[in-house]
Structure 1
Amino acid sequence: MRSFVPLYLSRVFRLSIFCLALLAPSGLVRAGEPEIVETFGAADAPGRLVIRSTIDLRIFGQVVDAYLETRPDLQIVYQQWGSNDLYQDSVEGCHGGDDPADMVMSSGVHQMVRLVNDACALSYRSPATANLPSALRWRDELWGVTREPVVMVYNRRLVPPSEIPHTRFDLLDLLRPSLSRYAGKVATYDIEQSGVGYLFAFADSREATTFGALLESFGRTDAVATCCSAELISGVADGTYLIAYNVIGSYAMELAYGDDRLGVVLPEDYTLVLSRAVMIPKQAHHPVEAQAFLEYLLSSAGQTELQRARLIMPLIGEVGAEGETISETALRSISLSPTLLVALDRQKRSHFISRWRETFEVARPPESDPQ
């Protein structure tokens, strides 16, 4: 049995919304509130597990349901957060907050590495965690549990097949003409509001020779930076945007399979791959239950459920909306490692965001139309 408390509903579907300011110059800002809270399991269950996560409840709820079929003795409180809010909440919990989570799952993996580096996580090791690739575990305190490509989304009715951008070079070509019809019609995450958007942009800056050219083209053609996955994908579907760049692929593909307006491209020059990170906070009230759920996520049954939820995607030979596939050599996994701490270096981040501000006009979230 579930009790459901909607704290935020997107226009088309509920997705993780990444809408909080980054660290203020004078110190930490306080965390906001979860967007959605849902309780799974019987109210009188003796066991309890509090999960705070950026994964959309509509997608992850089926994984929780499947787990509780084997655990009738457990109640799970699932809170859906934006990545920056979740990071701030976890920092507060690490420094003595009175309401810590038992498990934190986030797409902002650079933020998770920072939390582990700051001694905010419990250590846990088992055969299942030890069998993870080194890129998906760090210090026996952080584990990658999903496999999601970072994609481009386009409107299939408004973008002709000859103009579908299969690479970043193709996207640059679309934006090159002085009177490009894609001017003002390309969107991506606002990296000041979105922790995962910042991560993707920073990864691009270190990976791609095209990054500087993309920023220049985005600025010259009035590309839009907006807060969140919901805005990007629904904006492409309704024609507000023709193309959205650097979108979490699991969300995009989930919607594209049921909406013939949406096409999805795994960029052929390279495709970033996100593995959302899990940690057990050192202040957790129910660490044993958190460990048990982690074991489930890494088990064959849990992996099957994550695949059904499209949170684990095969990628190699994956067929996109127009039949394209991606090669293994084009995949660029975002590793859980200390190298991600560079993304949170105050000076580097300040410089990076200043450069970003010079490029984008930031779109504001809608003030009405809660559907």
Structure 2
Amino acid sequence: MRILFLMICLWGLPATAQEVSRSFGPALATTRLLVRSTTDINVFGPVIDAFLATRPGLAIDYEQWGSNALFDLSLADCAVGRPGADVVISSGVHQMVQMVNNACAAPHVSALTTALPPALRWRDELWGITREAAVMAYNRDLVPLDDVPLTRFDLLDLLRPTASPYAGKVATYDVESSGLGYLFAFSDAREATTFGALLESLGRTGAVATCCSAEIIAGVADGTYLIAYNVLGSYAQVAAQSDPRIGIVLPQDYTLVLSRALMIPKAATHSAEAAAFLDFLLSVQGRAVLADVLLIDPLTDDASAEERPPVSETTLRPIGLSPALIVAMDQQKRAQFIRRWRENFSNQDLR
């Protein structure tokens, strides 16, 4: 009954749920691969171009979605066996694990997929294709060097004073509207004893919870926010390349590391081409292009290396693709977590 209700609701989804779309390759191509993804189209475009250069005559229609909307639509397609996307890529990897668990994915095995470490391959139906850190970004012009937070404890210290200049000037993802934001916050809650204190401090000082990486990072650059917490380092580094106002820190207490997950839906129309796309992304050539657009991050953070010691490998906390992520999708646990979040942000108009 719940799945039927979900399907009825999603048939009426507004067009704005899909953020943007673009076609790549020959306009008259007889085979068109439909890729639905949460990855910014301007970041991922060069990766698609590189793949299509190896596949003459193939075209790709790319749709950029928010993680929650992409999950809902993909789940609805799966429920009725409706051909939708040929490839789904999402930063909401807990949602992707849930879809695989719901038997929504087609398997694929190749030398490249089997070479992946177990944390980046689950049931030969879900694969991690990127390596991106959750970082703190800050405005270089407006945050004094001595104030740059290198750990979550440092951020807590900045927010502790009654008249903190950072009150109302810290931004993070809204865990209810952003699947990635929920995943990062949920991982924080399981990883560190600082989460409760940090959540309380963010709420008490009027931190802004909003939906999107681009909005948060642009706000840091123009001074709307002084610090952004738990944003994707790949997007922050892309912005920092052209805007020297943006500084980036990989937290020294621990740094979450995300691998965007790729799934080939069971009802995909072009599953062979989808598998070829996956293999390209895992190949030496594909990984080089992903590295060029910073979706595979060496995690050395050269942009702000002068402001902090290099991050240690022991500090990294990869979010692996495993059934453990299904805990984050448990309806009761998710409702409790969001209720706790809302209680701390109760005095705000979440954007």
- Give the TM interval when normalised to the shorter protein: over 0.9
In structure 1, what is the equivalent of residue 120 of structure 2?
A: 136
Post-superposition Cα deviations, 1:251-308, rounded to whole Å, max 9, x if no partner, equal 0010012101111110011000000000000010000000000010000000000000
Cross-structure match for 1:326? 311
- Deviations along 1:206-241, one digit per CA (max 9) or x if unpaired, are 001110110111121111111111221111111111
2:339 equivalent among 333, 350, 354 = 354
2: CA distance between counterparts of 1:67 and 1:36?
Answer: 20
Q: Following superposition of structure 1 onto structure 2, how do residues 1-371 of structure 1 map, counting pairs within 5 Å?
A: 29-30=9-10, 31-32=13-14, 33-96=17-80, 98-315=82-299, 317-323=300-306, 324=308, 325-360=310-345, 361=347, 363=349
After the TM superposition, list the runs of 4 or more consecutive aligned residues in structure 1 that deviate by more than 6 angstroms. Answer: none
Change in 2 beyond 3 A, CA 1:346/1:364: closer
Amino acid across the alignment from 2:302: V
Question: How many Å separate the matches in 1 of 2:24 and 2:261?
Answer: 22
1:319 is displaced (CA, Å) by: 2.3
AA aligned opposite 1:354? R
Q: Contact 2:174–2:211 at 8 Å: present in 1 too?
A: yes
CA contact (8 A) 2:240 2:303 kept: no
Asked if the contact 1:227–1:363 (Cα under 8 Å) also holds between the matched residues in 2, the reply is no
**Once the two structures are aligned, what percentage of the paired residues are identical?**
60
Distance 1:125 1:362, change over 3 A: farther
SS at 1:35 equivalent: strand
Q: TM-score, normalised by structure 1?
A: 0.89
Contact residue 281 and residue 287 of structure 2 kept, 8 A: yes
Q: Which moved more, 1:201-210 or 1:223-232?
A: 223-232
CA distance in 1, matches of 2:244, 2:336: 40
**In 2, Cα distance between equivalents of 1:244 and 1:155:** 9
The answer on whether the counterparts of 1:191 and 1:198 sit within 8 Å (CA) in structure 2 is yes
User: Separation in 2 of the partners of 1:177 and 1:363?
Assistant: 23
Q: Does the CA contact (< 8 Å) of 1:53 and 1:106 recur in 2? A: yes
Give the Cα separation in 2 of the matches to 1:78 and 1:137.
Answer: 24
| Alpha-carbon offset, residue 97 of structure 1 | 5.7
Measured in 2, the distance between the counterparts of 1:97 and 1:241 equals: 44
Give the number of the structure whose residues are more often helix, by fraction.
Answer: 2
User: Which one-letter code corresponds to 2:216 in the other structure?
Assistant: L
Distance between the aligned counterparts of 2:348 and 2:84, measured in 1? 33
Name the CA distance, whole Å, in 1 between partners of 2:276 and 2:189. 38
Q: How far apart are 1:322 and its partner, in Å? A: 4.5
What is the TM-score of this pair, normalised by structure 2? 0.94
Q: Which amino acid aligns with 1:105?
A: I
Take 1:285 and 1:359, find their aligned partners in 2: how far apart are those partners?
A: 45
Give the unaligned 5+ runs of structure 1.
1-22, 366-371
- The question of whether the paired residues in 2 share the 8 Å contact of 1:121 and 1:280 is answered with yes
Question: RMSD value over aligned CA atoms?
Answer: 1.6
Q: Aligned partners of 2:55 and 2:301: how far apart in 1?
A: 34
Structure 1 residues 247-256 or 42-51, which shifts more? 42-51
Write the letter of the residue equivalent to 2:317: R
